[in-house]
Structure 1
């Protein structure tokens, strides 16, 4: 089975904290988690985990987040066909 996904790559950063600040209040998170998002990206990783080797046409920047995305994609056996962009898209 061959699968091709086309879409936008988002880098999701989730902050872990025991308190949700309100208004102008500030609070320091105890940790954070980085994951990859976007419908096509999520579907490609899901297929890879199920043993289906996907191809993915997606936005990839030449920055540390883009390189981290390419490294993780390679680890899962996802073939990336990058659409070059200047910076990675972040979601917090």
Structure 2
């Protein structure tokens, strides 16, 4: 499922978007990942908080993060050049807090 990220109307590469997210304070980065998961559809709607997160290896060259919701499920968030996020999950937890 894909979730649209908030845009400001300007073009930005996936790498530039990834750098922007990477530079955010931890709490704001958690908020971005949380919003992407919640916006991904019914399966993400039950997420109440991001309890762990970790940047992962790029997916097809796009910045990628893994995030854990409520200490129970893991999601993968891939940022794309159109300033959206491709979200997959839920899945088993493989990252540590």
Q: Same fold (TM over 0.5)?
A: no
Normalised by the size of structure 1, how large is the TM-score? 0.25
Rg (Cα) greater in structure: 1
